Amino acid sequence: MSITSYEQVEQQINTLGGKPTVLEALWDGDTQGWYLCLSVYIKKNILGGETSHYLGTVTFGGDIRLFTGEVPSWPEAALAKEIGKRAEEKYGLTFYFPSPDDPDDDCPRWTERHLAISCADCNKLIIPTTSEYLPKDICYHCHLEREWNEKIKTEKPCDDGVTFFLYKEGIYQNNGYCSYFDSFTVAPYIKDIVESRKSNELVSLVEITTDEIRDLYIKLRKDVKPLLDNYKKPEIDPKMSKFKPIDKKAYDGTIYELEMKFNDEHRKISNFMYSIETAEKALNEEKIFVFSFKNGMTYRDDTMLRFINYVSKGSASVEAICKRYEKILNEQEVMDTIEKLKRAGCLKTDGTMITLTDLAKRII
Ligand SMILES: [Zn+2]
């Protein structure tokens, strides 16, 4: 059962009868993301022990939010806290929610608390991990945080990642991202041009002109031809269609069915068609290609830009930045990073605020 309100919980508790003693909220996860499982512990009579009753899950679905900003928010936790607070007031029970800030499926159930330890970093109750690769005294979340902080502290390089834009009159339209430039289908055709134009700056934007896109378009169409000449329509058992998704693409008046998951040739054709479409779109709309590269960027630089952009909505005071990194960096290190990013054109001072520039938006 999906729980979306306190009233649902209250109704279930009343149906169960007896005295509710504990309301428990524990995280669990699957391929769709994290959700919270709610259970209530009930005492039927003075002498009897508590019995646990599962109530349902609180879920808002999808882990996409993990990739959209630095700090994901968990509306599930907010709703569970609200439900817990009202249940405490109504029944005088204990609301047991051992990980209210972040998802964690290593927390003990109410009845397993004697097996748990407190995380050395955040104090949360956890059942110690059995993995030999993970520290035993901290929770998984704090382990990841320690690793992340270490990358920031030691200025680990963070130059991977190239974004591909279509550009016209000051407007950049995101058209794709790859960890490495060579992964773009168009890379072999424009690699020399890109290499000759790439600068040594922290951020470098490389433009591909209209004439070059026209040239690229002709070459792509020429090279996709032998692939299409050898094209074989996929034979797929209808029962398997769920596992082998088919993309239908029109090209020069013919429809091609492309099996994307297990067929390398089909995937190659699809990538070519997409690149040809992109070039065609750019030529029709008089846009050029722009690729953004990083050179000399560190995790420290990257996280600061993301903090200012996503958490502080584009501008932050020096104090707020220092506060964000107070456990990881000293004030001098923060100031040096701000200076480095200013010199590179990624940040500027706007009164008392540090503001992200358009250039920085091309790389985060
Ligand atoms: Zn912890």
CB 100 within 8 A of CB 58: no
Q: Where are the domains of the chain?
A: 6-126, 162-293, 298-361
Distance CA 24, CA 20 (A): 11
Tokens 């806290």 locate to: 81
**Is the pLDDT assigned to residue 234 strictly greater than 70?**
yes
**Is the pLDDT assigned to residue 63 strictly greater than 60?**
no
Reported confidence tier of residue 173, pLDDT bands at 50, 70, 90: very high
**Closest among 55, 66, 141 to 100, alpha carbons compared:** 141
Angstrom CA distances, 269 to 180, 223, 256, 273, stand at: 20, 10, 9, 6
**Residue 61 pLDDT:** 63
133 C-alpha vs ligand 1 centroid, how far in Å? 16
Angstrom CA distances, 258 to 132, 134, 175, 251, 265, stand at: 43, 42, 21, 12, 9
57 C-alpha vs ligand 1 centroid, how far in Å? 23
134 C-alpha vs ligand 1 centroid, how far in Å? 13
- Choices 3.40.228.10, 3.40.50.970, 2.70.150.10, 1.10.10.10: CATH for 298-361: 1.10.10.10
141 C-alpha vs ligand 1 centroid, how far in Å? 6
User: Which pTM value belongs to this model?
Assistant: 0.75
128 C-alpha vs ligand 1 centroid, how far in Å? 11
145 C-alpha vs ligand 1 centroid, how far in Å? 9
CB 166 within 8 A of CB 175: yes
**Is the pLDDT assigned to residue 47 strictly greater than 90?**
no
Give me the chain's average pLDDT, please. Answer: 92
**Residue 60 pLDDT:** 81
146 C-alpha vs ligand 1 centroid, how far in Å? 10
Give me the long-range contacts of 20-23 (CB less than 8 A, separation at least 24).
20/87, 20/91, 20/93, 21/50, 21/93, 21/94, 22/50, 22/93, 22/94, 22/95, 22/96, 22/110, 23/83, 23/84, 23/87, 23/88, 23/93, 23/94, 23/95, 23/96
222 C-alpha vs ligand 1 centroid, how far in Å? 56
**Residue 115 pLDDT:** 93
Give the whole-number percent of the chain exceeding pLDDT 90.
79
**Residue 242 pLDDT:** 65
DSSP 108: P
144 C-alpha vs ligand 1 centroid, how far in Å? 10
117 C-alpha vs ligand 1 centroid, how far in Å? 11
**Is the pLDDT assigned to residue 240 strictly greater than 80?**
no
When mean pLDDT is compared across 38-52, 234-248, 283-297, the lowest value belongs to 234-248
